[in-house]
Structure 1
């Protein structure tokens, strides 16, 4: 990934650059003016812009409102693999899927960066989901159906082998030995852990879930469990902040920075626990999981997991969401988001006597 050149700071995102990258796909297009409306800082930076095109660009029907996503903040080097993964997902995998996805005008990666130019969904009436607004049962079921379609597409496929077509996707590992696991291990250090347990997010988390050694042991158990069972392409970070609903109510996924090769139960548990009010989750989860398993069959999986297998897998995976929302830096998610989601995982662990509350 040595080419093409990609901006590394917001100042390099210019009308000239945007026109140059759009022209090969949309011949004759030039961007005459690029107005930056807002910059949303986070794990990945989102530049919300308005583009004014020449006659050729208008003839192609290009949207004026765009979201340009990339690593444009100081922490870019730490997690640049996220931006590279998302760009490759949209360029290589998205065309082979039937999920709700935004229109992508350009996606590219190089050794230092990954960048995606997509439509701004808001002018079309889309609702960007927020973690403070839990889903209805029907909405959750629709998102789970799309996750089943994603998982079924490469369910236990040879393409997911290390030397396979999709071997470039990172393996999902809750606490990897490689360098990218340094973050998780660092968050488990006593002083760092104590810092996060002193933030507002910890107030709603059951005391049993705030035990550092217990969480560490549960993550190690999950590492062993995650190597079992069918491997598939997973979203990796399926929380509401990465999702939207179209004007018609169709579910859609915005963010694919953590696309991985991994266990289906990671996405399922992470999604519905984070997306539902805890009382609704208690009432609906059995039916929602049964619906997901049935959807796997509809989307082509010959032998979906049994109910017993599914619930054992879901119990094992609860700790991932619990841990990473407990120690999520405020530079990546504002504290009100962390405080909304972390307790949802804590109470799910209690309800299911799942690690770190109980044995797997």
Structure 2
């Protein structure tokens, strides 16, 4: 079969890119398509040397740094890819990748990280956190998101099979598209992390600094716990806000970006990993557990499927500093009962090997069913 792999954009190596990496391992002859591809040469190893066919957005002014500003043009751009010569189209989508045009004799399987979250149930949160809740910009943003939402719903009809990255996202797919979705958890490179049983007396939080990660909430909580030490790792647009939240608190260190080896060392040494986002899946909590480190997480979204309350960590029910503080105190009182080995064992349920096995099995089943339906249709004719 001729296979095409379609992604939203290629700018960094992160969670969605890890999925693409494994898909390309399973289908090494596949051709790659992306709205834009601005990966540096030293970041391209996960693509097996492939160069993506890109859209007109690649050539737009400031596209390298401001590509998200072209969101209203992305539905048009993704529809311009000519995939008519491919038998199997696999899209890895959190924005518009699943909107590629395919015909009735082509099988389109979408690995969906989420329906466009900022156009559906998180729209109001997105507008507020982006400073777009008032004035003319508010109405322009609302119109753009309305357009994206309509495109997102319409383009779901062109997908034969949805594969969701969690049960949480499968429920969102059902809500937004009225479609079922198989669940295949994304790959986590468990072998990159080693179990460490001896812990030091500090907490760690690591994430890209963007609004929905709620890193400033974690800093605010630890400001009220001067005897609890916290290390915050990461970079991004909200880094200055997080540093402002931690300003004057001697028990909080904000490192900014750290190389992987250093970040891993902190995750191995920490007494617990703190996670405050409502995440679709959430890879970093699994990485922390792979180090034998318990996770204190907001009890919503994908974390509910990776962290086991009382066995590999604890949940806090509200995204408030007060709720997080209560979870930290609970951990301080009874967290000694959590075994590093139990954390590691739980993390191993999300390995790269299991992803490949589950994903390929789901795709093979979809191909078999699609071919049976096609054969039956031809026989009927």
> TM-score scaled to structure 1, two decimals?
0.30
